[in-house]
Amino acid sequence: MKRLHTRLLCSVMAFVMAFSFSLTALAADENDKEEKEQQIEALQQEKEAQNQALDSMQTDKANTEAEIAALDEQLTSVQGQIDTTNAELEQTEAALEQTKKDLEAAREKEQQQYETLKLRIKVMYKKGETGYLEILLAAEDITSLLNSTEYISKISDYDSNLLQNLQDTRTQIETLEKQQEEEVARITQLKEELEGQEAELQGILDEKAAYIQSLNASIEYTEDYIQELEENISMEQQALSEIEAEIRAAAAAAEAAAAAAAQEAAASGGGDGGSSYVPDVSTASKPSYGGGWVWPSDTTLLTDTFGYQDWRGGSHNGIDIGASYGSPIYAAASGTVWIAGYSSSAGNWVVIDHGGGVLTVYMHASALYVSSGQYVSAGQSIAAVGSTGWSTGPHLHFGVMAGSSGGYDGYWVDPLAYVSP
C-alpha cells in the first residue's frame, strides 16, 4: 500500500508539472478571450443604439415628408386662389378703366349740353326774356341750374328731360365707378393676404426641405457607421474564434503532456506501466467488473470522438457527451473512487479504479456526489453535468485508461470499446 501511495504521489506531481507550462499560456488566452467578448459586447450595444437612432431618424423623416406633402397641397390651393384672384382683379380693373372712360364721356356730353343750354338762354334774353339771364348768372353749374324752379317752369320739357337724363347717367356712372374702386380694393387686399399665405407656406416648406436634407445626411452617416460596426464585430468574432481554437489546442496539448508526464513518472518508479504500447481494442470484449458496464449519461449525443484530431493538433483522450446542465453522471462500472476533486483543466472531476489496470474519468461536472476512497456500483449517480474547467458548454468528457499499474500511468483507449449508447 505504501508503494502504491508513493507511485500515486509521483504520478500526481508529474501531472501538475506537465500542466504548469501550459497554464500560463492558457491563462493569457482566457484573458484575451474575456477581453474580446467584452469588446464584442460593447460593439453590439453600440450597434443596437445606432439602430435605434436610425429607426428614430427614419420615422422622423417619414413624418416630415408627410407634413411636406400636406403643405404642398395647401400651397397649391393658395396659388390657385391667387391665380383666380389675379384674373378677377384684372377683369375688375379693366371694367373700372372702361367706367372711368364712360364717366369722362358723360361729363363731356353733359358739359356740352350745358354750354348749348347757355347759348339758348342768351338767345332768349336777346328776344326780351330778361329773367333767364339772372337765372343763368346765378347758377354755378348745371345742377344748380336744373334745381331752379323758376328756370324749370320756363324751359321746354325737351331741354329739361335731356338735362335730367344726362345728370342721371353721370350719377349712375359715378356710383358704378365707386363700386368698382371698392371691388378693386377688396380684391387687391385679398391678393395681398393670399400672397402672404403663399410666402409663409413656402418658408415652412423650405425649412422642412432643409431638415429632410439634414436627416438624409445623418441617416447616411449612421448607416455607414452601423456597417463599420458590423465589420468590426465580424473581425472581433473571428479573432475570438481563433482564441477559442488556441484554448482548445492548448488544453489538448496540456492533457497530452499530462498523460506523457504521468507515464514517465510511472516508468521512473519501476514496473511495466510506462509502456507506450497501445493495443487495438476495437474488437475487445467489454470487461465485466462487478455487474458489467453502463452508459454514463441519460443522453446519447456524442459531440466529440476519441483519437487524433487535426484541429486539436493532437489526440482527444476520450469522448464528449452533450447533456443538459445538472443532469446525472453515472459510474460506467463498479469500483473505488480514486480522485474526486477539482482541476483547472478538468474542472470538477472523478476518477474511478475498476481494478485490472482500468480507470474511468469523468470531467467538467457541476457537482460531485462521491469522495475519494468510496466504493461505487455500476450505474450509480456520482456527479452532475456542468461546464467547469476548460469547457465551452455543458457536457461530460468520459475517458477510459487501460494498463494502469496503480496510478495515472496507463494508456487511453476508445471508451466506445467498453460502453455503447
Q: What is the pLDDT of residue 270?
A: 39
How many whole angstroms from its chain centre is CA 158?
A: 97
Per-residue pLDDT tens over the stretch 113-167: 677 766 766 666 665 554 555 555 556 665 665 555 455 455 556 666 766 777 7
| Contact residues for 286 (Cβ-Cβ < 8 A; gap 6+) | 292, 293, 417, 418, 419
Considering only residues 55 and 113, tell me which one the structure prediction assigns the higher pLDDT. Answer: 55
Residue 70 has pLDDT above 70, yes or no: yes
Is the whole-model pTM more than 0.75?
Answer: no
Q: Under a CB-based contact definition with an 8 Å cutoff, are residues 146 and 163 in contact?
A: yes
How many whole angstroms from its chain centre is CA 47?
A: 8
Q: What is the pLDDT of residue 108?
A: 80
Domain boundaries, the chain: 18-269, 272-421
Q: What is the CATH number of domain 18-269?
A: 1.10.287.2610
Q: Under a CB-based contact definition with an 8 Å cutoff, are residues 316 and 307 in contact?
A: yes
What kind and span of H or E run contains 97? Answer: helix 2-126
Considering only residues 145 and 284, tell me which one the structure prediction assigns the higher pLDDT. Answer: 145
Q: How confident is the model at residue 1 (pLDDT cuts 50, 70, 90)?
A: very low
Per-residue pLDDT tens over the stretch 307-345: 887 766 677 889 999 999 999 999 999 999 999 998 888
Yes or no: domain 272-421 corresponds to CATH 3.20.20.70: no
Q: How confident is the model at residue 286 (pLDDT cuts 50, 70, 90)?
A: very low
Q: Under a CB-based contact definition with an 8 Å cutoff, are residues 388 and 348 in contact?
A: yes
